[in-house]
Amino acid sequence: MVAKMNKEDFVPHLNSAFEVLPDGMEKVTIELVEVTDKSSGSLDSFSLLFKSESTAAFRHSTHMVRHPQMGELELFLGPVHTGKTDAVYYQAIFSAPREV
């Protein structure tokens, strides 16, 4: 069983680098720039926003992601439009029923 991740797992790593290993591409370095709580009612939910200086965008998919302290994670990441033009942005969304 996969351990449930929560936003508190990621907050200490804001502004730190993660490596993504997209299929068929060179590794891409992304920076965690935002952790947003989206919980409501009986649902625990949060999103992660990553920024990449690389112009080679990878597609929405489950990707292997590495971080020096967090280790290896499989995250479903995809590019998102933020209105910013300084980089490519990617988002991961987590959602699970709230534990009683």
Q: How far apart are CA 50 and CA 96, in angstroms?
A: 21
Q: What is the DSSP string of 15-26?
A: T-EEEEE-TTS-
Q: How far apart are CA 26 and CA 43, in angstroms?
A: 36
Q: Can you give the pLDDT at residue 98? A: 80
Q: Can you give the pLDDT at residue 42? A: 86
Please list the pLDDT of the chain residue by residue as tens digits (100 residues): 356 788 999 999 999 999 999 888 889 999 999 999 988 888 889 999 999 998 778 889 999 999 999 999 999 999 999 988 889 999 999 988 887 6
User: Tokens at residue 85, please?
Assistant: 């033009």
pTM higher than the cut 0.85: yes
User: Tokens at residue 84, please?
Assistant: 């910013």
DSSP label at residue 68: T
State the CATH architecture for 7-97.
Beta Barrel (2.40)
